[in-house]
Amino acid sequence: MNYPLYLDHNATTPCSEEVIAAMLPFFGAHFGNAASKSHPYGWVAEQAVEDAREAVAQLIGAKSKELIFTSGATESLNLAIKGIFDLFPSKKQHYITCQTEHKAVLDSMVEIQRRGAEITYLPVNSDGEVDLNLLEQSIQPHTKMICLMWANNETGVIHPIQEIVNIADKHGIIFLTDAVQAVGKIPVSIQGIHLMALSAHKLYGPKGIGALYVRHNHSLPKPLAQLHGGGHEKGFRSGTLNVPGIVGFGKAVKVRIQEMDEEAVRLEKLRDRLESALLELPSVQRNGSLKHRLSHVSNLSFLGVEAEELLLKVNQRVAVSSGSACTSISPKPSHVLQAMGIPSDLGRASLRFSLGKDTTVSSIESSIAWVKKVLEDLSNS
């Protein structure tokens, strides 16, 4: 297939060649079940899992015993939110999150709200930033959790995690963060955090594997399991482990540790070139904080064009999205941009460009030229 240029790395990233090579033996020669404790097939698989667990833990400064492997960040977030809610049956519970969170968080909050929890959805300003004073004012005596993402998947806006950690710690509240878009892109530490969701396919690992960091040796409680049937992963998550995926996750993390800082600098230069060229046009505006954002993400709105036609034509040669990969087929405006006060028609006519390892100067220049041509064609049609 003649694929377009790929500028949608926040949706998913291609597996690195090193990751694929590391995984392959565990589909064939080393096919054992990591839970098989009585023979070498199981021992080899188990050791591979533990090596990967140690690698992922190292990336975020955790202990390996604090990492639970899951099928991805959506499962991790469901386990964290619903697992804490289930600890307090028939008790009054309050949770704080934000209007710009990923749907995996928002839909989980809707579910526990249906079961009786009270939820505060914090607003954001026009840059996509939360008001920390409002966050602290929202805390109630029965608040069980603050749940705020590290970096937004649509705009790249980075929340002030350390300040949020301090607020949670001051009030003795669990802090859960969706760190999917941040891990492997910027330095991330679990210091002061109780629960953290990660996903391999956002950092050049395979799809279908993620993790939940669960803080140990702390008075605040751990979530109750949501999947039962064998007590795998220290009882937090039953089910046969995806050994090839876990091995790939571990390898992807090792590669990112080596290249993350240098790659962030390179991508920021390319992102800024893309933005500066497109923002020269009177019909284009940038969405999200200019100061506090990931270096590889740009969210731009295009005035005066029909949204679906814009996305369709741009994607003929440059693969981008109009929001989260989970909702990009929806004709509705992004809930993130809506929360930032961007009008619906402009929100629909917005594109997220997210750069990655395979993005080059040439691909950026080609993308600039193509988007400009699309806009010219649409304005003349």
- Higher-confidence position of 1 and 187: 187
**231 and 307 share one domain:** no
**83 and 218 share one domain:** yes
Where among 197, 230, 254 does a domain terminate? 254
Domain that holds residue 293: 5-12+260-380
**240 and 270 share one domain:** no
Q: What is the pLDDT of residues 246-283, one digit of tens each?
A: 999 999 999 999 999 999 999 999 999 999 999 999 88
**153 and 270 share one domain:** no
**287 and 217 share one domain:** no
Instruction: Give the predicted TM-score (pTM) of the model.
Output: 0.94
Catalytic residue among 15, 98, 147, 326: 326
Q: pLDDT over 70 for what percent of the chain? A: 97
pLDDT above 60: residue 330: no
pLDDT above 90: residue 2: no
Per the annotation, the verdict on 326 as an active-site residue is yes
Helices marked H in the chain: 17-23, 40-60, 73-85, 103-114, 132-137, 161-171, 243-279, 307-314, 335-339, 344-348, 361-380
**166 and 220 share one domain:** yes
Where among 200, 219, 254 does a domain terminate? 254
Q: How far apart are CA 127 and CA 258, in angstroms?
A: 32
Name the residue among 232, 239, 235, 226 with its Cα closest to residue 83.
226
Count of domains observed in the chain: 2
pLDDT above 90: residue 323: no
Where among 254, 276, 296 does a domain terminate? 254
**278 and 246 share one domain:** no
How far is C-alpha 355 from the geometric centre of its chain's CA atoms?
15
Q: What is the pLDDT of residues 214-248, one digit of tens each?
A: 999 999 999 999 999 988 999 899 999 999 999 99
Q: Indicate if the alpha-carbon torsion angle 314, 317, 322, 328 is positive or negative.
A: positive
Q: What integer best gives the mean pLDDT of the chain?
A: 95
Task: Give burial (CB, 10 Å; 0-12/13-18/19+) of 29.
Answer: exposed
**247 and 264 share one domain:** no
30 falls in which pLDDT band (50, 70, 90)? very high
Predicted pLDDT of residue 379: 84
Which tokens sit at 124? 């954001």
Predicted pLDDT of residue 280: 95
**Residue 186: strand pairing partners:** 183
Residue 129 is part of a domain; what is its CATH number?
A: 3.40.640.10
**278 and 240 share one domain:** no
**278 and 153 share one domain:** no
**318 and 202 share one domain:** no
Q: What is the pLDDT of residues 145-202, one digit of tens each?
A: 999 999 999 999 999 999 999 999 999 999 999 999 999 999 999 999 999 999 999 9
Q: What is the pLDDT of residues 110-146, one digit of tens each?
A: 999 999 999 999 999 999 999 999 999 999 999 999 9
